[in-house]
Amino acid sequence: MSTPSLRTRLAARGFDGTTLLILPGLAVMLGLFIYPFFYGLADSIMPKEGAWYANYVTFFRDPFQYRTIASTLWLALPVTIVNLAFAVPIAFRVRLMTRQRLLTTILVLPITLGTVFVADGLLTFLGPQGWFNRVLVLVGLLDAPVKLTNNYWGVFASLVITGFPFAFLLTLSYVTGIDPAIEQAAATLGANARQRFTKVFLPLLVPGLAVTFCLAFVQAFAVFPSAVLLGAPAGPTRVISIAAYQAAFEQYDHSLGTAIAMIMGAVELVVVLAVLGARSMFYRGPTGGTKG
């Protein structure tokens, strides 16, 4: 019995001329993403002086450095929770709207304009003579303008302005993916609005919300330009990306810089894995109502 040629056997497993089309893209990713990652990992354990772990010791011994982890989390976690907490009920309302296009177009503006533009705008808008403070004084909520820029709240506001639309649009795409027939069935069986939300929608939404949380968290965690422009980059909003940038490009210690970048990736990964792990404890299954 003759065995089929190598070409035939490979094609049967899915390797043929068409499969080779992935090679250029794959090569770019290996060269620009995987190789630099391992290069960085190796670079981070070859410090300017000392043992291989010296960079990591430097980071975790110096409170000015290791506190950046806490200050980043102290910004990113509350912002993500706030954004998601507002995104869910609003997405549930907007889902019933027939013309969502104008709203989604307005909300996509801050995402496309980016954090630098938003930071520039907020510097004027939230400033002591800005419209935000003026309105609050006019309405009588405040006696005198409060300081909202160059501190924690400035960065917080910029992360809400760019992060909320992001969380909202993602949530909306998950919410509209749920078959409305499921809600109608629940309502027919006598479930009120609260029960329909907690017993029907929420379990179906948890996987999507977990992914949204992770993506929104990654964005907030990576905060950099607004923490510099709108925050107090030497004080409470000295986030970990500032520490990594300063080490690599201001002190020209790329070994320490990559080490901090690796720590940053690791901390983020821990949070993401924790959220995704918690997700697996909930229902996973189809969100459509039809038979499979």
Give residues 220-239 in contact with other proteins (rule: CB under 8 A). Answer: 221-222, 224-225, 228-229
Q: Does 115 bind other proteins (CB under 8 A)?
A: yes
Site for other proteins in 266-285 (CB under 8 A): 268, 272
Find the part of the chain contacting other proteins (CB under 8 A) among 47-55, 56-64, 146-154, 186-194. 186-194
Is residue 40 within 8 Å of 254, Cβ to Cβ? no
Least distance to other proteins from the beta carbon of 286, Å? 10
Least distance to other proteins from the beta carbon of 277, Å? 16
- Residues 210, 211, 217: CA angle, nearest 5 degrees: 90
Helix 63-94 and helix 152-175, axial crossing angle in degrees, nearest 10? 40
Q: Does 169 bind other proteins (CB under 8 A)?
A: yes
> Which is nearer to other proteins, 109 or 278 (by Cβ)?
109
53 φ, ψ (degrees, to nearest 5): -95, 10
- Residues 196, 198, 199: CA angle, nearest 5 degrees: 65
Find the part of the chain contacting other proteins (CB under 8 A) among 46-54, 57-65, 212-220, 277-285. 212-220
Find the part of the chain contacting other proteins (CB under 8 A) among 49-57, 59-67, 198-206, 264-272. 264-272
Q: Per-residue b/e over 112-131, b at no fewer than 16 CB within 10 Å?
A: eeebeebbbebbebbbeebe
Identity of the amino acid at 93: R
Q: Other C-beta atoms within 10 Å of 254: how many?
A: 16
Is residue 230 within 8 Å of 155, Cβ to Cβ? yes
Site for other proteins in 22-61 (CB under 8 A): 22, 24-26, 28-29, 32-37, 39-41, 43
Q: Does 73 bind other proteins (CB under 8 A)?
A: no
Q: How far apart are CA 83 and CA 90, in angstroms?
A: 11
Q: Pick the binder of other proteins from 46, 109, 142, 278 (CB under 8 A).
A: 109
Residues in contact with other proteins, shown as a per-residue x/- string from 239 to 258 under the rule CB under 8 A: --x--xx--xx----x--xx
